Amino acid sequence: MRHLIAGLALSTSALALAGCVDARSAQEAAQAEPTAADAAAFLDRVETTYSEVGEEAARISWVKATNITYDTNWLEARMAAELTEMAVEFANEAARFDGLDLPEDQKRKLALLKQGITLPAPTTAGAAEELAQITTRLDSTYSTGTIDFRGDTVPQNRTEVLMRELRDPAALETVWTEWRKVSKPMKDDYVRMVEIANAGAEELGYDDLGQMWRSGYDMDPDEFADEVDRLWGQVKPLYEQLHCTVRSSLNEAYGDEIAPLDQPIRADILGNMWAQSWAALYGDIVRPANPDAAPVDIQALLERAEATPLDMVRTAEGFFTSLGFEPLPETFYERSQITKPEGREVVCHASAWNLDSKDDVRIKMCTEVNADDFVTVHHELGHNFYQRAYNIQPTLFQSGANDGFHEAIGDMIALSITPEYLVQIGLLEQDEVPAAEGDIDLLMQQALSKVAFLPFGLLVDKWRWEVFSGELSPEEYNSGWWDLREEYQGIRPPAERPADAFDPGAKYHVPGNTPYMRYFLAHILQFQFYKAACDQIGWEGPLHRCSFYNSKEVGERLDAMLEAGQSQPWPDTLELFTGSRELDASAVLDYFEPLMRHLEDENEGRSCGW
């Protein structure tokens, strides 16, 4: 939960309870012709209430996540329902001021209020209640879904493990297919949800919900769609080479019947339920190019140093203080959940929190001494330092420059965990730095996760845009989904899918209504940020070996970008750090350049593409 109250908006009824406004005066104001003074007063009221109710909601969510009981679940569910109602009402109230001549900062705040709600409901009686009921059912259907496999009832999280570990194509097809039976009953609810949310978006002045989502990027919605296509065009050649090599490796493992060399890859044999990451294939399917090259074993280094989870967190904090950032407050260490507590159920999924929009920043993890958690701690603290940097902004501007920035900052820091950095912090000796011959395998592991993800990160929302606009009818939902998956990812289902299937619903973010373009953007931005930092320190070696640890210049420019929050269009904020106003995926190509040359050599003579 990066932004605990992302898109906060508060209802008239809730405000009346808080003593901030009474319902009759709000109704009378809504009927009057709005003025600039009304807009200013409205925004003041919104931000005041955000500060009060936002902190309460954050603390309720924290208590629930760190102590899961019937009561804490009840409290969070009640607050979530209130916030959903608030979001709808404030978004509609913000739309009243469209067309007024207002200062730019007020215009921006009003736009953020309208765009901050993911699913707007129209003002039609009962629409908000029906929408809430539908989204609750969709979420429940997904989260409680199970499959039958070899006589056992398997929950969703265990199905992901099976997809990573199984190597029997028949078993993989069974798990893959059974999970998609869970999503089939969602379809009617999803169709109705689209109808209601589209009506809500139209009331706010948009053609449909997809246009509303795209309007949150400080550019014309159609231009934004073209922009992400341009970025995909930059990285597509790298993806195609990776696809070609992986398909060849799968063919060697499974043969022509399962992995033919002239077809898209079967989606169920890529080591992930959604084929969005292929990292699980590394080792036994995608074999190391240099088996004798010894990569850095971060876990072994941590164990040699007798590091504890707390040591790992302080090391990550040291990365930021080396750049010139102020240390975290002691309350961070007093109040964070760094390791899993005994005697109560908690959410272990790593997350970064800002509970009071000031200095009460925390992480919630069940940290163990291993390489994955060492990287994750650096990533999560990236969110915390971002949260603390923009707390100087008005409440409505306390967020990332766009929704891709927050994840990209954390990932940018994680990219800097290189052998160079490990030497700088004393975990690795200089004579232990691996030779460059092993870099291809390190880059392959990164590519199977980060490069493989790119087309999936793009197509999830492309499919939703087509659904929201009516380009895809309900009867075409599933076929349209697979058309995009073949076009962008070069994958196919293991068998023909039923006409009434709803395979998009098998991915949480679809029934959970979480916009997905942020993840595609983050996978581009993290490399753009990383390269900019390495350029600032004058790094001359291979980009993937760079660490900007201890650079005050990088820290000063990074802080300027983080402090801006969402107070200005994101190109202005991007320019503060990178010197460019444009998203640019060329840094992805620079980072993976040695791997690209290796893949092109490997694929010479093969028939690539699909």
**DSSP-derived secondary structure for 130-162:** HHHHHHHHHHHHHHT-EEEETTEEEEHHHHHHH
Cβ-defined contacts of 604-607 (< 8 Å, 24+): 606/244, 606/248, 606/261, 607/261, 607/262
Structure token digits, residue 584: 């640019």
Compute the distance between CA of residue 602 and CA of residue 608 in angstroms, rounded to an integer. 11
Residues paired with residue 148 on neighbouring β-strands, in sequence order: 153
pLDDT at 138: 92
Compute the distance between CA of residue 75 and CA of residue 83 in angstroms, rounded to an integer. 12
Q: What is the DSSP letter of 340?
A: P
Q: How many helices (H) and strands (E) does the chain have?
A: 24, 6
pLDDT at 398: 96
Mean pLDDT by 10 residues, the chain (610 residues): 35 30 44 89 92 92 92 86 81 91 96 90 88 88 92 92 97 98 97 97 95 96 97 98 98 98 98 96 92 86 97 98 97 97 89 94 96 94 97 95 94 94 96 88 95 98 98 98 98 96 96 94 98 97 95 98 97 98 98 97 96
What's the angle, vertex CA 609, arms to CA 167 and CA 411, rounded to 5?
A: 70
Cα 220 from chain centroid? Answer: 22
Helix axes 187-203, 439-469, angle to 10 degrees: 70
Give 75's contacts (C-beta < 8 A, 6+ positions apart): 60, 63, 64
Compute the distance between CA of residue 593 and CA of residue 467 in angstroms, rounded to an integer. 37
C-alpha to C-alpha distances, 232 to 40, 228, 235, 457, nearest whole angstrom = 41, 6, 5, 10
Cα 610 from chain centroid? Answer: 28
Residues paired with residue 364 on neighbouring β-strands, in sequence order: 337, 351
Which residues are annotated as catalytic? Answer: 349-350, 379-380, 383, 407, 509, 519
SS3 181: helix
Find out whether 220 and 235 touch, Cβ atoms under 8 Å: no
pLDDT at 600: 98
Find out whether 58 and 87 touch, Cβ atoms under 8 Å: no
Q: What is the value of pTM for the model shown?
A: 0.92
Compute the distance between CA of residue 227 and CA of residue 523 in angstroms, rounded to an integer. 15
pLDDT at 82: 83
